[in-house]
Amino acid sequence: MAGAAAASMALTPAAAGAQEFINILTGGQAGVYYPLGVALEKVFADNIEGARPSVQSTKASVENLNLLQDGRGEIAFSLGDSVKAAGEGDEEAGFAQPLDKLRVIAAIYPNFVQIVASAESGIESLDDLKGKALSVGAPRSGTELNARQIFQAAGMSYDDLGKVEYLPFAESVELMKNRQIDATLQSAGLGVASIRDLASAIPIKVVAVPQEIAETLGAPFVSEPIPAGTYEGQDEDVQTVAIVNYLVTHSDVSDDLAYAMTKAIFENLDQLKAAHAAANAISIETAAEGAPVPLHPGAERYYKEAGAL
């Protein structure tokens, strides 16, 4: 009888009233992941019966994926190249072995690698960064991984810089305001709060990443423009490298919960768009495309029902 009762409980759908703890792994509070994570918390609380969501600020992509593998989160934001590296077990990227439990919920919006220098630094190009002080993001974060990849594709390394700081977005901006560093590299959605804050405080120069860098790096990198007017003082389009972001879960999350989370996301996109303009790029038509690791079966079920797969 006890065995039958346990089996019955195991088959209970996630949305049928049992408490579901959903830890949402994001990034620094000055980035894009965090405000979208806060919006997801409300969406899940309002639309998944019994859900008890919470938001955790982290060092973003690499940390998030390792936490998922360890079962210390139910859904996380991550850059596509980090997801790919995690699935392959790229030790240089921060993954000592392949993370075999990772499952994709959705492709969301692209991250743009945004290199921003103070106008007074005289930095106009990637080559001008040589000998200058640059913050490349938190250690082994998705942003810092992007920095290394871009420098390698450009035939450069951190050794070419005058000084390297490994700091999250907000802290990097504070150093620039205080003239302690010359530039910051941030991999984030367009209009990220940290760079908006910087551009309102000092004159800036958005530094281009040439198209050939994206071609050298290959998928999942593409060449995209940062549109003119994205930041105060940016009067023209600036070409850079973009990478698709993903919402990722793990294989121990039930099919019912993964289905419920996916459904809640795409039936409440207006709330995500209200939280940050980057969410305007989220579309169910592309959500199931190009996943670097397998789709979660629960998410796959939703996409098939919605006619998106």
CATH (one of 3.10.580.10, 1.10.3720.10, 3.40.1390.10, 3.40.190.10) for 12-108+245-305: 3.40.190.10
- DSSP string of 108-141? EEEEEEEEEEEGGGT--SSGGGTTSEEE--STTS
DSSP H helical ranges for 244-284: 255-266, 269-275
Is the pLDDT score of 280 beyond 60?
yes
Domain ranges of the chain: 12-108+245-305, 111-243
Return d(Cα 280, Cα 283) in angstroms, integer: 8
pLDDT band at 219 (very low <50, low <70, confident <90, very high): confident
Is the pLDDT score of 17 beyond 60?
no
Categorise residue 83: left if φ over 0, alpha if ψ from -120 to 50, beta otherwise: alpha
User: Among the listed ranges 1-15, 150-164, 188-202, which one has the minimum average pLDDT value?
Assistant: 1-15
User: 111-243 has which fold?
Assistant: D-Maltodextrin-Binding Protein; domain 2 (3.40.190)
Higher pLDDT, 139 or 178: 178
Domains 12-108+245-305 and 111-243 share a fold: yes
Over the Cα atoms of the chain, what is R_g?
20
